[in-house]
Structure 1
Amino acid sequence: MLIGVYGFTDKRPVIYALLKLLQATGDVALFSNNRHYKRLLENGESQGHMANILISVSDASPDEIFEQVGYTVDDFEHIIFDMQDTIPDNLSLVFYVKSFSPNEDEQSFLEILGAYTTIKMTYDGKREKEAINVLPISQLWRSIEEIETYHILSPMPSVNLNKGLAAMLAPKLNIKLKTAMTILTRRWNK
């Protein structure tokens, strides 16, 4: 499954929850130009593995990245593209992580994306209809720090995020909703 995650805000809570769920069902790759993901790798490398997850931090385009990392699309069951301005071909799902109203550039990019699911980080306290609404509480950011410090995929302390991702991905992964929720909320062992 090819998944694009787009947005001009910090997408790590969403991407870490996706990694947690997807890694339980096969090999995963995460491609991003966000330098924060280097914290998941030993010695701050730009490319490496965390269990069965390949992480590559690069400015390469989606077309160039596979040549750079030495793998092919077929080497992974799931690939996550942390997108900022380039849209990979043949995406199965697109998540738009939103904080405040999009600016003109962001709105133009959204129109090109086509169908997507909005995950709203409710910094402004305004819930959005038909979106997965996530409260950016301190425990959420604490989990991010724990994941990056200890290289473990801790559960995201957001019931709405976990339920929303489980409901959306369980059918695509051919697992039960309850199984998806269990994966998302259990402690992680390498």
Structure 2
Amino acid sequence: MRIGVYGYTDKRPVIYSLIKALQATGDVAVISSNRHYKRLLEFGETQGHMANVMIVVSDATPDEIFEEVGYTADDFEHVIFDIQETIPDHLDLTIHVKSYAPSEEEQSFLELLGEHRTIKLAYDGKREKGSIHVIPSALIWKAVELIETCQVLHPIPSKELNQGLALMLAPYLKMKPKMAYSLLTRRWGR
């Protein structure tokens, strides 16, 4: 499964939740230019593994990235692309993580993405029809910091995010939403 996650906001709660669900069903690669993900690796590294999750922090395009690391996308059951400027080919699922109304540039990029699902980090408290509505609480950001500090995929404490992702991922993972939800909320050791 190839997933593209796009947005002009901090997407780590969503991406860490995706990793948590997907790593239980196969090997995962996370490709990003966001330097925060280096905190999941050994100090100073830009690529490496956390259990069966390969993390690559690079400015290379999606087409160049696998040449850079010596793998192919087919070496992984799941690939998560933290999309910024280049859209990878053959995405199975595209997720837009948004906070406030998108700028003209962001809106233009969304039109290029085509069909996508939306997760709204509702800093403004406003609901958006058809999106997963997540209140970005201090507990969520504490969990993100804990994941990066301990390098362990603790659950993200957001019932709305976990339920929404479970419903979104279940058909792709060929499981019931209840099982996907349990993957997102269980404790996980390194």
TM-score (norm 2): 0.99
Kindly provide the CA deviation profile for residues 66-116 of structure 1, in whole angstroms up to 9, marking residues without a partner as x: 000100111000000000111000000000000000001000000000000
| 1:99-157 deviation per Cα after TM superposition (whole angstroms, max 9, x unaligned) | 00000100000000000000000000101111001100000000000000000001011
Within 1, Cα distance between the matches of 2:29 and 2:81?
A: 8
Number of residues of Structure 1 aligned to a counterpart in Structure 2:
190
Separation in structure 1 between the aligned mates of residue 83 and residue 73 of structure 2, nearest angstrom = 17
| Structure 1: distance between partners of 2:74 and 2:95 | 22
Whole-angstrom CA distance in 1 between matches of 2:180 and 2:100? 29
What CA distance in whole angstroms lies between the structure 2 residues aligned with 1:129 and 1:155?
26
Shift of 1:8: 0.4
For each residue in 1:10-62, what CA deviation from the matched residue of structure 2 results, as whole angstroms up to 9, or x when unmatched? 00000000000000000000000000000000113100000000000000000
Show the 5 A alignment for 1:1-190: 1-190=1-190
- Code of the aligned partner of 2:120: K
CA distance in 2, matches of 1:2, 1:32: 14
TM-score, length of structure 1 as denominator length: 0.99
Say which SS state the counterpart of residue 43 (structure 2) adopts: helix
Write the letter of the residue equivalent to 1:81.
F
Q: Which runs of 5+ in 2 are unaligned?
A: none
User: Hey, which bits of structure 1, 4+ residues long, moved more than 4 A?
Assistant: none
Unaligned runs of 5+ in 1: none
- Root-mean-square deviation (CA, aligned residues, Å) is 0.6
SS in 2 for 1:43: coil
